[in-house]
Amino acid sequence: MSELKVDKVSPRTGNYVALNTVGMKNIIINGDMSIAQRGTSESGITAGGYKTIDRFRYSRNGTAPTLTMSQDTDVPTGQGFAKSLKLEVTTVYAFGSSDRAYIEQRFEGQNLQYLKKGTSSAESLTASFWVKASVTGTYIVYIIDSDNTRQIAKSYTINSANTWEKKTITFEGDTTGTLDNDNAISLNLNFGLYAGSNYTSGTLATSWESTTNANTLVGQVDAFATVNNTWQITGAQLEAGTTASDFEFLPVDVNLGRCERYCQVIGDTTDANVPYAVGMANSTANFRGVYSFKKEMRATPSATVSSASDFRIFENGTDNVITALSFNQVSKRSCQVDADTSGLVQGQACIFRKLTYQDSAKVTLDAEL
């Protein structure tokens, strides 16, 4: 964790002035893999998307093998980490020329202005991470500049199978192409897993260049060639400069809060009988209430309901089964909850909640990049 820096004396008072009291040097959010709001394991994965570990997205082009992604307790010894992101192959696929897969994290442009990209003072970026894989050989890490269609890629080597190894990679600063100062995606950091010839037939883009698919993943091994192959990562850090510093551990409340800007879940396993929204019966068959988000989200989120019937409208001592659930008038801070049920008393105060035995019931609010 960043220390409080006291390195300036006020000429007016003679007192010390604290500088940089909140560091957060790590551009990557949740690099210790400790937050997994969507769940700790998902099997049968073939499509890309956010699956388990917050802020880390599985992405792929074309047809893909079937994977299990999990938040695992296997971590490098003595480094302070408790969790890792683990991918395991359950069904193999012989990939074609247009296929590739990678783990990525996407970054808002407004959080990256201090990198001075596109100027003569552009900052270098250094990535450091612990990785473990069952397949040895060359792997590619690359950065995509979405605002200017540019890329840079570097390689690292897995020397020993199924062994935690620390890697450090430096990407020089880019003096071409400024980043948009907004809440949309500007850069993303990608960890290659396999790639077809469309992405490997050129020359690896070890310096910044216009995005060329053939130069993106040159030399990348197939980490998923065999059933039960695994790839794991933890301690992922990306920071300005040409050297890697110690991993920046953040308190869990700070780490969770940063993740909740992009994803929030209503109804995790600890929330039984907790009121999510308080409102009233619009009619005998409809509830309307307001749910305030835990913190302001990056953008207006979409809402995905696992099963409406797993939630209840509590009124006058009775939990009424919900037959339809929707979220309307959604902003970055709150939304309106509408639920169809039966047996309500119009005008009566009600609570939207779930019961103890409905542990799988959840609503995912997604404002991811």
Tell if the pTM clears 0.85, that is, is over it: yes
Contacts (Cβ under 8 Å, ≥6 apart) of 252:
34, 35
193 in Cβ contact with 105 (< 8 Å): no
Residue 359: predicted pLDDT: 67
Same domain? For 196 and 58 the reply is yes
Domain extent at residue 286: 263-366
Where is the domain boundary, 260, 286, 302?
A: 260
Same domain? For 208 and 337 the reply is no
How does pLDDT run along the chain (369 residues), one tens digit per residue? 344 333 444 444 444 333 333 569 999 999 999 999 999 999 999 999 999 999 999 999 998 899 999 999 999 999 999 999 999 999 998 889 999 999 999 999 999 999 999 999 999 999 999 999 999 999 999 999 999 999 999 999 999 999 999 999 999 999 999 999 999 999 999 999 999 999 999 999 999 999 999 999 999 999 999 999 999 999 999 999 999 999 999 999 999 999 999 999 998 666 667 889 999 999 999 999 999 999 999 999 999 998 898 899 999 999 999 999 999 999 999 999 999 999 999 999 999 998 766 767 889 999 999
Contacts (Cβ under 8 Å, ≥6 apart) of 96:
62, 63, 196
Same domain? For 77 and 211 the reply is yes
Where is the domain boundary, 235, 260, 285?
A: 260
Q: What is the CATH number of the domain that holds 205?
A: 2.60.120.260
Q: What is the CATH number of the domain that holds 281?
A: 2.60.40
Closest CA to 2 of 250, 241, 236, 258: 250
Same domain? For 92 and 211 the reply is yes
Same domain? For 74 and 33 the reply is yes
Residues in the chain: 369
Number of domains in the chain: 2
Same domain? For 177 and 136 the reply is yes
Q: In whole angstroms, what is the distance from residue 152 CA to residue 143 CA?
A: 5
Same domain? For 232 and 316 the reply is no
Which tokens hold the place of 360? 């799988």
Same domain? For 231 and 329 the reply is no
Give the 3-state secondary structure of residue 199: helix
Q: In whole angstroms, what is the distance from residue 178 CA to residue 359 CA?
A: 46
Residue 368: predicted pLDDT: 98
